[in-house]
Amino acid sequence: MSRTATSPDALASLNDAQREAVVHFEGPILVLAGAGSGKTRVLTTRIARLIEHHGVDPRHILAVTFTNKAAGEMRERVARLLGAEPEGMWAGTFHAIGARMLRREAPLVGRTASFTIYDEDDSLALVRRVMDQARISTKEWAPKALRAEISDAKNALVTPEDYAQRALHPVERAAAVVYPLLERALREANAADFDDLLVLPVRLLEQHPDRLAEYRRRFQFILVDEYQDTNRAQYRFISLLGGEHGNVLVVGDDDQSIYGWRGADIRNILDFEKDFPAARVVRLEENYRSTPQVLEVANVVISANTNRRGKTLRATRGAGETVTLVGSLDERDEAEFVTTELLARRAADETLALRDIAVLYRTNAQSRSLEEAFRLRAIPYRLVGAVRFYDRREIRDLVSYLKLIANPSDDEAFRRAVGVPKRGLGESTIEQLTERARAAGMPLLAAAGRPDLHDGLRPAARTALAGFSALITRHRERAADSAVDELLVRLIEDIRYEDALKAEGKEGLDRLDNVHELITGAAETVIDEGGELGLTPLDHFLQRAMLVTDFDRQSADADAVTLMTLHNAKGLEFPLVFITGLEEGLFPLSRAHDAPNELEEERRLFYVGITRAKRKLFLSHARSRRRNGETMPSIPSSFLRSIPESFVEQRATIRLRATGRAVLPQSAALRRPGEPVVRRSSRWDPDIDASQDAPRFVKGERVRHPRFGSGTVMELSGTGRETKVTVDFDDEEVGRKRLVVAYAGLERDWE
């Protein structure tokens, strides 16, 4: 007999907590799932049980995942449990589900079903355009800063009107002018940015009770993964859909909430019972990933946080190696240690593949020294978080054509496409066309096809505009029934794009390889919505292209070491993990000390990194590191203080030992105020210099900073290495800064 979701074997293979979450039927339930505790198994088995045991139609199930890849894997696992596809079930990210809902209901939010999804670059270009129209200087206000302000407001469901009333600071007042103009420009372009994919569905459900009632009837059971990372808009979306029937299961780990800077609100998971008072709470604490040695470090690190529900991971695996804490001389020495160690381990264990190894760091800038070391040793590596495939110039060029073919109102796509390959149309010509199109109340493409709007333009420009308009019209007709790869091939031929790339030499040939990969990707696109919306293959392809993430692009088959930031490591696991750069001011970042919530999020990020390791974990720090162009002394991260010495094996690199100034993280450098220096009998000498108190300043004293210049001390707080100082710098462009004295490099200004 085949094993199904309801068979005794399937339930017997679950632990008690997992089984409790799976067999729960109606009503709200919060599953606090620790790292490596089998939450995906719980989600998929529960979905299969709802369908098979309780007779729930898959059409009545909505499953929200963190990545598109996770949604695909969830669907595959449910299909294996059922022996058939769960046809009709919606599974995807919040953005993907929002996009799908908006395609159905586009007229109710001022769009058509073929609206364009703007990525970050598209949105930023539109912000610049709106700023120009509003005569807001892009030199005075960075478009990225205003875009970020507006994005935060959208995700918090703050309307342009409410935002304008709350705007106090100059940057907020500038954003308040741009916000409503940006919204209008998006509607006129029949476009939606990424934030709209969250905000517009909420607006739809709030403003149209009949649609809300319909979607509540449709989605009678809702499951949400990674609930700790939801923002206000996502929270509101789930509460609207599930608030009436209450059949909402959310899975998450408050100890892995690391996206506060993106608007994620940890209170959504901490206060779940306030929204659903009858909620059952289940804790998944049995860890199937890591050794006891890794987990004891993880547990003790995260226990220092106070803003948490509380749980303790328990290992199901046997004992393994002790966690190793490594001191190095500088970032190059640290990188040399990483490469030497992983090569030695590979030589000792033939089963250890390069893909089994990950090197994690806090900021992208740290990858440089690591990449150099890997290249020097000829060790294959892949850099996660580098330029996305769809962000590459040649791909953006061709996608802009496809966007314009799909949506003739997309002015941003027009501006990019009309310039590649070059047609002799300069900025002046496009600006003249823009003014005439705006006066006529039409998109740029329509204006390009209107000879009566070309008066005064050079003959060559008039010819180029007419030819471009005819080109898009031809391909728009083809797009109605052509496969996307066929459309791309014809388009590339018509605009002679290959010739343009070949003219760029070797770099152009590399770009041409990416163009061929785009065609391959288009050929592999499969429409899985069953054509229910009547969209063209091109519409589906563009939606997928805009919603794809770095996670979805990773190939597990590539035998290469993975280099990435700790944020990008979320949800992954590796037998061997190195966490580098564990130095105060770098991890945690200096600014985190200004707010307890930020410091706790940094600690959660450290916890995420630790729990990526399955068998062996290395933690490393450097005595000095080049930052902002200059070499700065470093001390080990304060996060290491909570780890008992018995939990780790401590090592120093050869170069650090040669200086005679190696430092134990639990000793002098990390002493709390008032603690004595404990000298240990080892081959290391305590680092006396690193244990010196930070310089002492007084309020009103004049100081000089190596980068910001002279200023006056206005406030002081903290003691010893935790001392912070607020300085009003003389340079008005610098203004007031709050600095950690130990890393600021401040000197008394005797002039």
Active-site positions read 39-40, 225-226, 256, 612
Of 317, 315, 314, 339, give the one whose Cα is nearest residue 326: 339
Q: Which two tokens stand for residue 187?
A: 């509607």
Q: How far apart are CA 197 and CA 101, in angstroms?
A: 9
Q: How far apart are CA 563 and CA 419, in angstroms?
A: 36
Parallel, antiparallel or unpaired: strands 248-252 and 61-64:
unpaired
Q: How much is the CA Rg of the chain, to the nearest whole Å? A: 28
Do the Cβ atoms of 92 and 100 come closer than 8 Å?
yes
CA atoms within 13 A on the CB side of 634: 30
Of 295, 301, 313, 323, give the one whose Cα is nearest residue 617: 323
Amino acid at 675: E
Residue with tokens 């940094």: 602
Helix residue ranges per DSSP H, 321-453: 331-348, 367-376, 393-406, 411-417, 427-440, 444-448
Angle at 562 between CA 558 and CA 564, to 5 degrees: 140
CB burial of residue 2 (10 Å; 0-12, 13-18, 19+): exposed
Q: How far apart are CA 290 and CA 573, in angstroms?
A: 9
| Helices H / strands E in the chain, number of each | 30, 24
Of 497, 490, 522, 524, give the one whose Cα is nearest residue 512: 497
Long-range Cβ pairs for the range 377-380 (8 Å, 24+) = 377/339, 377/343, 379/339, 379/342, 379/343, 379/354, 379/561, 380/354, 380/558, 380/559, 380/560, 380/561
| CA 68 to chain CA centroid, nearest Å | 13
Q: How far apart are CA 221 and CA 59, in angstroms?
A: 10
Do the Cβ atoms of 659 and 689 come closer than 8 Å?
no
Q: How far apart are CA 465 and CA 148, in angstroms?
A: 35
Of 549, 488, 477, 484, give the one whose Cα is nearest residue 515: 488
Amino acid at 668: A
| HEC sequence for 491-548 | HHHHHCHHHHHHCCCHHHHHHHHHHHHHHHHHHHCCCCCCCCCCCCHHHHHHHHHHHC
Angle at 434 between CA 431 and CA 438, to 5 degrees: 145
Do the Cβ atoms of 518 and 492 come closer than 8 Å?
no
Q: How far apart are CA 247 and CA 245, in angstroms?
A: 6
CB burial of residue 676 (10 Å; 0-12, 13-18, 19+): exposed
